[in-house]
């Protein structure tokens, strides 16, 4: 069985836990900049329409007595680590999706054993962190995730083996993985609104609606989900980016930002004991056009100055000529394990035996 | 302009020049080659503003003048012609070609918009044979940096002339190649030029067969270098900057030495490199008891072990290198046997031919990997 857990209103719950005066009130976690959006809203704020990704000014219109709390990423990371440690203690493989969400592979355990394990886990997390998690349990990842969503907050929902298709049948087709709003609208036009409708499509219609992956979609709709939990997903790239409160035209200022990001990325490389052989930048211009530049290093590095030099070179090549920039990011890739091994001719004077 | 020439002559000149054209250029005229007719000769020129290549060939010039033609299109057209004669008539907007029973009009751009070459100055005129220059270039440029982010200086190759001594040096900071020879005639005083390495590759390709190559500095600040021989000339914009003090990083003395059969070591390293796998492709070299042992391993591929007989002088040593860097050097070092010299596992190692070949001195310095 596979379990999917999600911490209830994670950032908001941490804030309320640490400041009981917020309990029972509408709380939103958001930055203070002009373009801030709500990162998490407490359950008390949600009836007003305040939820994640809503612009802060809009959230305050919807709920004028909303209490806005600044995010504390360092604290969230620490709490997240604590929760993942509790999960890890139980010895099951874990695939983290974000700071507050993960799949757990409960192995060959039957439904009842799985439920018992999850009950222990939820009790443990609450006792040791003061936070509640919602957990869905099923034979596949997709259903486990839908189940945890449905039982929020502070809930648990198990879909026993054999009940998958019945569980999915009444849900809107858009709940299937890979079906976004556009596809959903197209399906609705064709009279396909529920997952049951998708599950019963014949080959010809399924192919017409979904193209070459029709079989996968229909299998998912019938409750067949073969994807396994993939623990310790390998880091492919590391990045750092910043959206500016006001668009930046000054290249010297952009360079300063890249320097900070280079140090940030170098620190992350060190934490993961990696070195990078490619360095790239990402630029979103004021007109929302996104583009990038990338350069390859002869020798992989985790040195902040070398990463910064390469990123600066990319910025020069981007030839912005004063165009306003809304977002700037630095990304390193082609990661290899360990420190830079290649020694350098000019950085260390050779030992000369006299 | 108007001229008549052999199809083979014009095809080879335009073909060679068009290799210089940068296909990504945003300046339309730089996609073209410039053909100039004068004194019974046609000069074909292409440039990417850093490097200019000119090939000339004889022709019957009816009317002097110039025309520019799209390089890739024109060279592909010429490459498909049968041997014979062709007649070309040029205007500022058109090049018309008659050949056998075919007629082609190519759209042209005004030749006066073509970037001019700087005029020659007298400084640093010296002459070197094509073979010497080619040897120097081939011995060094591979060690230059190809990492744009570290700047143009390390991507260049240093050419130093001091009296009759000609020295070329290239380094990317991890390995260094130095090549030296004595010229028949030198210059008074000394000169240093940092030349883009890819331009030197063009010099070796286009001029390497020349008897005598004249090298001279051009431009107001002597910021260009011209190489010419016979009907071929290459002009290159020099890199502006300070070349690292390479003499300082070449150890004056080593305390351990081996003499090794170069081809045998190359063969062993090529096999071991396959197993080394990861990006740094680390091979370890252990020297002990007149034997060199190459080992490599990776979690994915397994283990490699190779033994070679060597002549060892001095203490035992284990040192690690990037297999690619070591192979690059061994593939360029002259002669059947090479000398490798060491100071310790984290100090620069030197590699050179056991005997200098043809009065040319090669020296390679290679930095090890931390184990």
- Crossing angle of helices B130-140 and B197-207, in 10° steps, is 140
Torsion of CA A317, A318, A322, A324, to 10 degrees: -160
Q: DSSP of B294-343, one letter per residue?
A: EEEEETTTEEEEEEEE-EEESS-EEEEEEHHHHHHHHTT--SSEEEEEES
B346 touches chain A (CB under 8 A): yes
Pairing of strands A156-158, A133-138: parallel
Burial of A334 (0-12, 13-18, 19+ CB in 10 A): middle
**Whether the predicted pLDDT of B293 surpasses 70:** yes
Question: Residues A44, A61, A89, A101: which is the catalytic one?
Answer: A101
Beta bridge partners of A101: A6, A98
Between CA A307 and CA A129 the distance in angstroms is 38
**Whether the predicted pLDDT of A348 surpasses 70:** no
* Residue A5 · residue A80 · CB < 8 Å: no
A215 pLDDT band, cuts 50/70/90, is confident
**Contact A346/B244, CB-based, under 8 Å?**
yes
Between CA B231 and CA B229 the distance in angstroms is 6
Chain B residues with CB-CB distance to A297 below 8 A:
147, 149
**Residue from A303, A308, A315, A350 whose CB has the most chain B CBs within 10 Å, to mutate:** A350
**Contact B278/A336, CB-based, under 8 Å?**
yes
* Residue B273 · residue B316 · CB < 8 Å: no
User: Residue B281: what pLDDT?
Assistant: 83
User: Residue B265: what pLDDT?
Assistant: 97
In chain A, what are the domains? Answer: 2-8+74-160 (3.30.70.270), 11-72 (3.40.1170.60), 165-221 (1.10.150.20), 237-337 (3.30.1490.100)
* Residue B97 · residue B167 · CB < 8 Å: no
Between CA A272 and CA A236 the distance in angstroms is 12
A351 pLDDT band, cuts 50/70/90, is very low
**Whether the predicted pLDDT of A77 surpasses 60:** yes
The conformation of residue B357, written as its DSSP 8-state character, comes to: B
Q: Which of residues 206-265 of B touch A (CB under 8 A)?
A: 244, 248-255
Catalytic status, residue A101: yes
Over residues B198-221, the mean pLDDT reads 87
**Whether the predicted pLDDT of A354 surpasses 50:** no
Half-sphere exposure of A133 (CA within 13 A, CB side): 32
The model carries a pTM of 0.68
Sheet with B94-99, side-by-side order of all strands? B60-63, B2-6, B85-91, B94-99, B102-107
Query: What 3-state class would DSSP assign to A314?
Result: helix
* Residue A5 · residue A133 · CB < 8 Å: yes
User: Residue B333: what pLDDT?
Assistant: 96
User: Residue B8: what pLDDT?
Assistant: 95
Please give the residue of chain A at the shortest CA–CA distance from B176. A345
User: Residue A352: what pLDDT?
Assistant: 37
Chain A residues with CB-CB distance to B175 below 8 A:
345
Chain B residues with CB-CB distance to A337 below 8 A:
278
User: Residue B132: what pLDDT?
Assistant: 92
pLDDT tens column, A129-169:
999 999 999 999 999 999 999 999 999 999 999 999 999 99
Sheet with B213-218, side-by-side order of all strands? B65-70, B32-38, B41-47, B51-58, B232-237, B224-229, B213-218, B126-128
pLDDT tens column, B339-370:
999 999 999 999 999 998 889 999 999 999 98
- Residue B292 neighbours by CB under 8 Å, 6+ apart: B258, B260, B265, B285, B286, B307, B308, B309, B310
User: Residue B122: what pLDDT?
Assistant: 60
The 3-class SS string of A4-21 reads: EEEECCHHHHHHHHHCHH
Chain B nearest CA to A21, separation (Å): 53
B117 pLDDT band, cuts 50/70/90, is confident
Please give the residue of chain B at the shortest CA–CA distance from A309. B149
In chain B, what are the domains? Answer: 2-113 (3.10.150.10), 122-247 (3.10.150.10), 256-366 (3.10.150.10)
Please give the residue of chain A at the shortest CA–CA distance from B369. A342
Q: Which residues of B201-213 are buried (b: 16+ CB within 10 A; e: fewer)?
A: bbbbebbbebeeb
Between CA A86 and CA A80 the distance in angstroms is 10
Q: DSSP of B195-226, one letter per residue?
A: EEHHHHHHHHHHHTT-S-EEEEEESTTS-EEE
**Residue from A300, A335, A338, A342 whose CB has the most chain B CBs within 10 Å, to mutate:** A342
Chain B nearest CA to A308, separation (Å): 10
Over residues A74-97, the mean pLDDT reads 84
**Contact B370/A343, CB-based, under 8 Å?**
yes
Span of A148-162, B272-286, B314-328 with lowest mean pLDDT: B272-286
pLDDT tens column, A9-56:
999 999 999 999 999 999 999 987 777 889 899 999 999 999 988 889
Chain B residues with CB-CB distance to A349 below 8 A:
248-249
Chain B residues with CB-CB distance to A352 below 8 A:
251-253, 343
Between CA B95 and CA B106 the distance in angstroms is 5
**At A92, phi and psi to the nearest 5?**
-95, 150
Between CA A348 and CA A173 the distance in angstroms is 63
**Contact A350/B174, CB-based, under 8 Å?**
no
Q: Which of residues 261-300 of B touch A (CB under 8 A)?
A: 278-280, 282
Over residues B298-313, the mean pLDDT reads 89
**Whether the predicted pLDDT of A233 surpasses 60:** no
- Residue A170 neighbours by CB under 8 Å, 6+ apart: A194, A195, A196
Torsion of CA B275, B276, B277, B281, to 10 degrees: -150
């Amino acid at each position: 069985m596979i379990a999917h857990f999600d911490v209830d209103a994670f950032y908001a719950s941490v804030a309320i836990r640490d400041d009981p005066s917020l309990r029972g009130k509408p709380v939103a976690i958001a930055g203070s900049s002009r373009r801030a959006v709500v990162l998490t809203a407490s359950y008390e704020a949600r009836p007003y329409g305040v939820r994640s990704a809503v612009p802060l000014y809009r959230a305050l219109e919807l709920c004028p007595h909303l209490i806005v709390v600044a995010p504390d990423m360092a604290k969230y990371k620490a709490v997240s680590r604590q929760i993942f440690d509790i999960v890890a203690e139980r010895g099951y493989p874990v695939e983290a999706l974000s700071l507050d969400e993960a799949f757990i592979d409960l192995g060959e355990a039957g439904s009842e054993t799985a439920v018992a394990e999850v009950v222990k886990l939820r009790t443990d997390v609450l006792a040791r962190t003061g936070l509640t998690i919602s957990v869905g349990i099923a034979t596949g990842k997709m259903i486990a995730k839908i189940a945890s969503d449905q039982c929020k907050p502070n809930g648990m929902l198990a879909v026993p083996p054999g009940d998958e298709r019945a569980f999915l049948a009444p849900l809107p087709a858009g709940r299937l993985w890979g079906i976004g709003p556009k596809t959903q609208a197209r399906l609705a036009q064709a009279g396909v609104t529920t997952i049951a409708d998708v599950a019963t499509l014949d080959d010809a219609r399924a192919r017409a609606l979904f193209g070459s992956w029709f079989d996968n979609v229909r299998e998912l709709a019938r409750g067949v989900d073969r994807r396994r939990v993939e623990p310790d997903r390998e880091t492919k790239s590391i990045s750092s980016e910043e959206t500016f409160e006001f668009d930046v035209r000054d290249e010297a200022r952009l360079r300063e930002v890249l320097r900070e990001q280079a140090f940030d990325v170098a620190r992350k490389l060190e934490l993961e004991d990696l070195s990078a052989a490619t360095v790239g930048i990402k630029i979103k211009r004021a007109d929302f056009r996104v583009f990038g530049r990338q350069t390859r290093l002869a020798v992989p590095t985790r040195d902040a100055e070398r990463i910064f030099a390469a990123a600066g070179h990319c910025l020069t090549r981007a030839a912005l000529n004063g165009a306003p920039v809304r977002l700037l990011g630095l990304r390193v890739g082609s990661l290899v394990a360990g420190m830079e091994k290649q020694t350098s001719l000019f950085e260390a004077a050779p030992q000369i035996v006299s | 302009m108007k001229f008549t020439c052999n199809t083979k002559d014009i095809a080879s000149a335009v073909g060679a020049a068009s290799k210089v054209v940068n296909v990504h250029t945003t300046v339309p005229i730089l996609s073209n080659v410039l053909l100039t007719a004068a004194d019974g000769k046609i000069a074909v020129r292409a440039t990417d503003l850093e490097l200019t290549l000119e090939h000339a060939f004889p022709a019957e010039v009816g009317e002097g003048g110039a025309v520019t033609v799209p390089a890739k299109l024109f060279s592909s057209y010429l490459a498909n012609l049968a041997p014979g004669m062709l007649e070309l008539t040029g205007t500022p907007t058109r090049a018309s070609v008659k050949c056998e029973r075919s007629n082609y009009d190519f759209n042209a751009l005004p030749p006066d918009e073509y970037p001019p070459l700087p005029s020659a100055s007298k400084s640093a005129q010296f002459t070197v044979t094509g073979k010497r220059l080619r040897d120097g270039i081939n011995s060094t440029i591979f060690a230059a940096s190809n990492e744009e982010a570290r700047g143009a200086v390390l991507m260049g190759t240093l050419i130093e002339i001091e009296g009759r001594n000609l020295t070329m040096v290239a380094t990317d900071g991890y390995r260094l190649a130095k090549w030296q020879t004595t010229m028949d005639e030198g210059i008074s005083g000394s000169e240093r030029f940092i030349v883009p390495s890819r331009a030197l590759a063009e010099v070796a390709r286009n001029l390497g067969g020349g008897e005598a190559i004249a090298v001279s500095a051009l431009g107001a600040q002597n910021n260009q270098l011209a190489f010419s021989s016979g009907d071929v000339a290459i002009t290159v914009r020099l890199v502006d900057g300070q070349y690292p003090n390479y003499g300082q990083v070449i150890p004056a003395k080593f305390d351990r030495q081996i003499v090794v059969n170069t081809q045998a070591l190359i063969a062993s390293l090529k096999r071991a490199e396959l197993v080394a796998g990861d990006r740094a492709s680390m091979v370890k070299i252990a020297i002990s008891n007149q034997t060199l042992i190459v080992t490599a391993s990776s979690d994915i591929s397994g283990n490699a072990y190779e033994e070679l007989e060597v002549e060892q002088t001095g203490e035992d040593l284990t040192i690690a290198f990037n297999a690619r860097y070591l192979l690059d050097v061994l593939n360029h070092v002259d002669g059947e046997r090479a000398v490798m010299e060491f100071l310790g596992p984290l100090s620069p190692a030197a590699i050179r031919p056991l005997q200098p070949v043809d009065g040319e001195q090669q020296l390679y310095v290679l930095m090890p990997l931390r184990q």
